[in-house]
Amino acid sequence: MIARSPFQDYRAPAFYMVTITAYERRPHFAVCKNNLSTLTPDGWLVYSHWQRIAQDYPQIAVSTLCIMPDHLHGILHVTERMEKPMGVAIRAFKSQCTSAFRQKHGNPAFILWNPGYNDRCVWRRGTLPAFTHYIMDNPRRYCLKKKHPDLFRSVANIKHPVIPADQSWDGYGNRFLLDRPEKCAIRVSRKATPSEISTMRDKIIAEAAQGVVMVSPFISPGEREISKAILAAPVGDVILIKPDDFPPFYKPHGYYFDLCVQGRLLILSSDSLRFHENKGSNTLTRATCLSMNKACSQIAQTAFYTPAEAEN
């Protein structure tokens, strides 16, 4: 699968994070253990061809690379405008690797890669270190996922007394959080003052320490600040409502991944939430926000509102 941005000029100078997966996700390239990825001979073959990109295409500099058992993440830097799109170099890399594997293994029909690749342009100022950290942190996340498989898979059509029965819900993470006796919905108005958010955050952290599960879409800046505070605390569990579905090989990003590893996170999504979204648009609508907040209130028995939110 190729994920292209219709607005990106792939001939122009930029940093790109590229993800390429092995055919049928077969673990050819490495072995992950103790939070490290150790390359196999086949993995070193892929590594050598990745480095060759800069030789074959002088306008491209190879940067961070992490080769995992069944896929790779790498950052390519287009340093000057190219005559052809960056994708030409990636397709050449894949083709060269496939030829080398066929020769090495004596199999002219050997299929090495899944079709296409995924890329993401790193264009926001200051985000390159975050992308680099994400790539290099892959072995740790991989090992944690293997160690805790039940916390890293999607489950369709979840049934539970606290979930609205008239909707179809999918989940990812620790589903036992639904069984906890105390759950609280969080809503923080975008109009909330820093003082109001700070007061609410301290109260929620104290409640979370007592075993109360916090339920929220964590959309507004205040809600996101509170979710980060829960992560930073030694205890505290979260049920996150999200508007989109769980694509194949889905896994949470950033600090939500760490919450999931610790069994402190459940992510829920419903077809009824996606119904409100504009087709073909990633814009979060007011209707969806209201639906998510309503779902949070139904799942939880109590709620924390900032004063401005409580008035709405």
**How confident is residue 164, by pLDDT bands cut at 50, 70 and 90?**
confident
| pLDDT for the residue numbered 80 | 96
| pLDDT for the residue numbered 310 | 47
Tell me the pLDDT tens digit for each residue of 133-162. 889 989 998 898 888 888 888 888 888 888
Per the CB < 8 A criterion, the answer to whether 215 and 183 are in contact is yes
What percentage of the chain reaches a pLDDT higher than 70? 92
* Residue of 42 and 126 predicted with greater confidence: 42
Give the closest residue to 114 by CA, choosing from 85, 71, 74, 75: 71
**How confident is residue 6, by pLDDT bands cut at 50, 70 and 90?**
low
| pLDDT for the residue numbered 124 | 67
Per the CB < 8 A criterion, the answer to whether 2 and 21 are in contact is no
| pLDDT for the residue numbered 52 | 97
Q: What six digits make up the tokens of 119?
A: 């890329």
Average pLDDT of the segment spanning 49-65: 96
| pLDDT for the residue numbered 33 | 93
Model confidence at 215: pLDDT above 90: yes
Overall pTM surpassing 0.85 (yes/no)? no
d(CA 285, CA 291): 10
Q: Domains (ranges, CATH) in the chain?
A: 14-147 (3.30.70.1290), 150-310 (3.40.50.450)
Per the CB < 8 A criterion, the answer to whether 226 and 186 are in contact is yes
d(CA 192, CA 212): 23
Q: What six digits make up the tokens of 227?
A: 């979710």
Summary mean pLDDT of the chain? 88
d(CA 306, CA 107): 64
> What's the chain's length in residues?
312
What radius of gyration, in Å, describes the C-alpha atoms of the chain?
22
| pLDDT for the residue numbered 179 | 87
Please list, in sequence order, all residues whose beta carbon lies within 8 angstroms of the beta carbon of residue 127, skipping any fewer than 6 positions away.
none
Q: Give all strands of the β-sheet with 302-305 in edge-to-edge order.
A: 154-155, 169-173, 265-270, 237-241, 213-216, 183-187, 302-305
**How confident is residue 201, by pLDDT bands cut at 50, 70 and 90?**
very high
Per the CB < 8 A criterion, the answer to whether 292 and 185 are in contact is no
Q: Look-up: residue for tokens 């969806």?
A: 288
| pLDDT for the residue numbered 274 | 61
Q: What six digits make up the tokens of 270?
A: 């419903």
Per the CB < 8 A criterion, the answer to whether 220 and 196 are in contact is no
